[in-house]
Structure 1
Amino acid sequence: MTNLTSQQFVLKDGYRLGYAEYGDLHGDPLFYCHGFPASRLEAQIIDAAAKRNRWHLIAVDRPGYGLSDFKPGRCMLDWPDNVAELANALDLSPFSLLGISGGGPYVLACAWKIPAYLRGVGIVNGLGPVYESWAAHDMKWPARLGFGLAKRASWLLPLVYGGIVAQALYWFPRVTQSLLTISAPKADSLVLKRPDIEAFLLASMREALHKGPQGALLDFKLYAHPWGFRLEDIRLKIHLWQGEADATVPASHARYLEKILPSAQAQYFPDEGHFSLPINYMDNILGALKEMQASPELSL
């Protein structure tokens, strides 16, 4: 890894945030919220598109992932303050914000708490409020099991997903990749078999867990409980992109967000999946964010 992809910033509370920079370093700032479990290295997948669209991409490890220190007891609404502090230190405020999959709730937390910092805001195949039973029920059984445990018996999470499971994900990430390919829709299977995409995703997953599973386990718990803010109170424009063939985060999540967010704009792609949509359409997504940042006003 180069210095640009393995940087750290010390927050006022003494904890360290790991971050990476991609794209055009002279372009407009775009902070990136990675998926689950993943890391700042996930953003390498969109590096080329960020360069073409003149975005300066800053991908930040959430606490416990990658180079970021684990913060016991953190809540989802701590994240906007961390991002704002880093943006101020880098002199990159205001900025746009993009989240993918499990990064979606953290984007929404930022839109609720630090709207003055934000310009264009987008979420791709974003996880919905799985603390509500319908949202978890619409997902595959492993996700239902995980979020059910996180909600009702979080003490079991380390037993089920920690230990040997986390070690297997770290030491043998290709096994996970193979399982994703087997159960994925056609569009996802095609992109997951690409050597470049496989390399990016495997590196991101290994980096996510190299300090252990604590960050991912806490994320599991935070997703499965109320996030600390009401979605209907978010007034900033939010653009949603969703693959209709997504077998990981179902399209029902995006439809719910489109309905409950006061100023949401959603675009659905009938044949795209969880991985294929951000890979195949990132130029379109980043282009739309460019247009959004010109008029990010709050809805009335």
Structure 2
Amino acid sequence: MAGFAPDCAIFIMLRYFISREFFLTLLALVGLGGLLYVAVFFWFLPAYTRHGEGLLVPDVSEMAEQTALDVLEEAGLRPLIADSIYMEDLPPGVIIKQYPLPYSRVKPKRTVSLTVNKREPPMVPMPNLTEPSMSIYHATMKLQNWNLSPGKVTRVPDIAQDIVLEALYEGKKIEPGTRIPQGSKIDLVVANGSGYRVPIPDLRGATYEEALAILEAANLQLGAISFDPSAPEDVHGQVFDQRPRPGLGDSISQGQYIDLRIYGPEPTTNEGIIIEEVEDGGR
């Protein structure tokens, strides 16, 4: 009899699961669950989220700040100035961005975050544009990286080519590190590669050393040298011809070369110059 009790319990449970009472209880639970589902998803949530009462967010981009605030409030929304940045190509105080985006559907009283264009540009330091051998291309890129605008480019005679010689702000030279408004225009003075023009010096009759000194004073360079060994010894070392030759009103750009023809034999050592042979008797 002691081992019969468990078997009786199992038998009683099986009879309950197939009884009418069990099925009625199960049916009641299913019905209650269905009612709860309908109540939550078709009544409670729509009432909580105000389903069917969504509003379209108006587009207030590029509107004046106060106008945008009024438009959003009249639409049943809550405007909020969340940020401000500076954009040179837009008027100060207008709306640059908004979130939620225009024409999004949101529930009433939803907060709409706005970004406004600053009324005053922030101050930025002037970069150094006259570093050794900074080209106009790299100077322009550097200005743009600092949110500054390249202005007028003035080219002046100089030996260098397309190198920035000076930076100007409002017509005056500006030193690196000076703080100026973002978006300011910076004018550049750039070398045109031609050099300043100077009169062609007359080197005929000068000694080699004197000719070098004259060329250096005029910021000109020594070109090719040729010699005439057939000349009398008393004129050896004198310049008897040059290219280009001097003329009334003739000029040459600084940094250019002048070739010389010198009386006398070619020196045994002549480092750093170009030697060109001249036939005997050539003058």
Between Structure 1 and Structure 2, whose CA radius of gyration is higher?
2
Using structure 1 for the length normalisation, give the TM-score: 0.16
In proportion to residue count, which structure has more helix? 1
Q: When the two structures are superposed, what TM-score results if normalisation uses the length of structure 2?
A: 0.17
